[in-house]
Amino acid sequence: MKHTLKPSLLWYALVATCCLLSSCATHKPTREQRITEHRDLYDGLKSKEKIAVNQGKIIEGMSKDGVFLSMGAPSKQVEGFQNGSSFDRWYYGYLRPVYRTGFSTSYGYGRGFGRGFRGGFHGHGYSRRGFHGGFGGFGFSNSVRYVPSVYATVTFKNERVDSWSRKR
């Protein structure tokens, strides 16, 4: 009789965890890594652009290649038309955590088998666990959500930096 090994649930959990952790790890190259990887772009810059790139700065008239080497790839790119000429705008963003703390009270009915109603400052919901009647308790809840935020914008006209802004 031939025995086959069935993968255990633990094995699947381990593989799923490894996949999840590897997908969460984002690699954002540093300025030095970008310069090394794109040496041809760096060598094609004017000397004042190279100085700005080495300092992580943006200067008026800088090329898109210089901005890429200095700041990295933008989070979002927009193109448009304004005052008779077209432009490109690069946005650099991040996910900003927003922390919330809530207070909730609960009360219920039945003998522990019913559905308890749970109300609080951040909305209402039902819990699957019933209470023994009357006031069931209270508690605090914490939550974190991430909101996209912009920390820098760069506007290009004729493939050169026309204006830029950066959060301090």
Res 124: pLDDT: 43
What is the tens place of the pLDDT at every residue in 34-48?
Answer: 999 999 999 999 999
Mean pLDDT over 93-114 rounds to 70
- 108 and 116 in contact (C-beta within 8 Å)? yes
* pLDDT band per the 50, 70, 90 thresholds, residue 131: very low
78 pLDDT higher than 90: yes
Cβ neighbors of 17 (< 8 A, separation 6 or more) are none
Q: What is the pTM (predicted TM-score) of this model? A: 0.60
What are residue 85's DSSP bridge partners? 82
> Could you tell me if residue 65 is inside a domain?
yes
36: domain range? 29-73
Q: Is residue 17 part of a domain?
A: no
Is residue 87, in this structure, part of any structural domain at all?
no
The C-alpha atoms of residue 84 and residue 158 are separated, in whole angstroms, by: 13
